Copies of this chain bind each other. A is one copy, B any other.
Amino acid sequence: MYSGGVDAAERLVESTRVLLWERGYVGTSPRAIQAHAGVGQGSMYHHFDGKAALARAAIERTAAELRAAADAQLGADAPALARVEAYLRRERDVLRGCPVGRLTQDPDVMADAELRRPVEQTFTWLRARLGDVLAEGVAAGELVGLDAAVTAATIVAVLQGGYVLARAAGSGVPFAQAVDGLLALLAAHAAPAGPLGPAD
């Protein structure tokens, strides 16, 4: 049961985030949320219209957090490929999977426009963000012969698929392998750095 020094509404949203990640929308009941948050029935329905409204708040927060986390690496002051590598190799709770990606498997989330929107936007944003980084690398002559948009989709897919493989295996190893394999493939497109760098 969760409780920080915060109010009921806040605890409810955080508990919903945890349970959605663990069990998905279909597998998460209002009762379970209340129990996890240590909040009663009446309190929950006072603060939120119901399960969908709570899920909406939870999903939007999780999506925003994911974007911020990605920006931490992708917006760093470093060469494009180094930023991509930092993003790919960032510490992750691999066996828990991606809290946003898992929602794509939730039929009731995908069927509700309000719940679905943040999921869709997150991946649209992420592909674009990665595409921009790659395009910068190409423009700087640091990366050669890459289609930025298409490669960005490949990179996001490797992460999302890596989570699937890790969960299937019950081990983080296949995730690490998928990332290693991708980085090896990307390395072949790095311009050989002369003593003067990419502008050499």
Which A residues fall within an 8 A CB radius of B?
Answer: 22-24, 26-27, 97-98, 101-102, 104-108, 110, 119-120, 122-124, 127, 145-147, 149-162, 164-165, 167-170, 174-175, 177-182, 184-186, 188-189
Interface residues of chain A: helix, strand, loop or mixed (majority): helix
User: Which residues of chain B are within 8 angstroms of A155 by Cβ–Cβ distance?
Assistant: 181
Q: How many copies does the complex hold?
A: 2
Closest residue of chain B to A134 (Cβ to Cβ) is B181
Taking a contact as CB atoms closer than 8 A, the residue among B105, B150, B160, B174 that contacts A24 in the complex is: B105
Collect the chain B residues with CB atoms within 8 Å of residue A181's CB: 147, 150-155
Chain B nearest Cβ from A50, distance in angstroms? 18
- CB within 8 A of A157: which of B145, B152, B158? B158
CB distance from A30 to the nearest CB of B (A): 15
A177 contacts which chain B residues (CB < 8 A)?
Answer: 149-150, 153-154
With beta carbons under 8 angstroms apart, the residue of B110, B124, B150 that contacts A167 is B110
What are some 15 contacts across the A-B interface (CB < 8 A)?
Answer: A23-B107, A24-B106, A101-B168, A123-B165, A127-B165, A127-B174, A145-B188, A155-B181, A156-B165, A156-B178, A157-B157, A158-B161, A160-B160, A161-B161, A185-B188
